[in-house]
Amino acid sequence: MICYVDIEHEKVLQDPEKRSAHLARCMEVKLRLEETSGQACLVQRYWRVTRQRLGEWGVRALIISGNETDWAEYGEADRSAGGSRRSLAEMCRIIRSAELPIIGFCGGCQLIAMAHGAPLGPMRRLEEGEDDPHPDVAPGYFKEWGFTPVRVLQSDPLFDGLGEEPMLWEEHYWEVKEVPPAFEVLASTDACRIQAIRHAGKLVYGVQFHPERYTQEHADGRKLLINFFKVAGSLG
């Protein structure tokens, strides 16, 4: 059993249109994780996940989703979810203890970095006259969006068989600003220096991109997921 932790803010699920799209995306990711791992995948909201429950559920690896909501909004307004500050604190404890193999996608990578004390923030503001292909998302800020070559900086089993610049889906305007203590940078792009990190002593990965968003034409994300489950010892 593997567990996909959905860290999206409760307000997204309270919007009927966004809720439908979000749940459909979660189901798609669940099926892809099951296909690449050979394991059943349990999908859980972040505020339901505790170390005790992970043990009771028999989880062998933890996958942390991305999110579209800015981190500043995870606070008192999310009490309907059971109190997000307490819940994020528990997720951070789970990340720091790393009793299971962990990988975080996009916002999940940022949560891993944040749990270890690293600062986060927008990549940069757009320069005057610079095109904004997605003005409906964080207008005025630079974004990485779409399939993008990600430069592998050092050998790691996560990138086995993917060459020097795998094509991976990006969809973000925030980034990890500094490498967390005890982590090393595995991959980068010109726009975002910290694209993939790994803890030096524990099986914890964070990737700023979305490996789960692969296509038949751009299938490097699928290979990366298989590599993670091999490293995690959780291939079925």
What digits encode the pLDDT tens for the residues 146-204?
A: 999 999 999 999 999 999 999 999 999 999 999 999 999 999 999 999 999 999 999 99
Q: What is the pLDDT of residue 77?
A: 44
Range with lowest mean pLDDT among 76-80, 114-118, 172-176: 76-80
Q: Are the C-beta atoms of residues 139 and 154 closer than 8 Å to each other? A: no
Q: In sequence order, which residues have a C-beta less than 8 Å from that of residue 81 and are 6 or more positions away?
A: 10, 45, 47, 87
More confident residue, 86 or 107: 107
Give domain 2-232's CATH architecture: 3-Layer(aba) Sandwich (3.40)
Indicate the burial class of 11 (C-beta count within 10 angstroms; 0-12, 13-18, 19 or more): middle
Has residue 85 got a pLDDT over 70? no
- Cβ neighbours of 161 (radius 10 Å): 11
Counts for the chain of helices (H) and strands (E), in that order:
6, 12
Please give the pLDDT value at position 236. 61
Q: Is residue 80 scored above 90 in pLDDT?
A: no
> Annotated catalytic sites, by residue?
106, 210, 212
Q: How far apart are CA 218 and CA 211, in angstroms?
A: 10
- What is residue 106's predicted lDDT score, i.e. its pLDDT? 98
Q: How many Cβ atoms are within 10 Å of 14's Cβ, its own excluded? A: 11
pLDDT digits (tens, 9 = 90+) for 38-69: 999 999 999 999 999 999 999 999 999 999 99
User: Is-above-0.75 flag for pTM?
Assistant: yes
What local confidence, expressed as pLDDT, does residue 20 receive? 94
State pLDDT tens for residues 3-20: 999 999 999 999 998 999
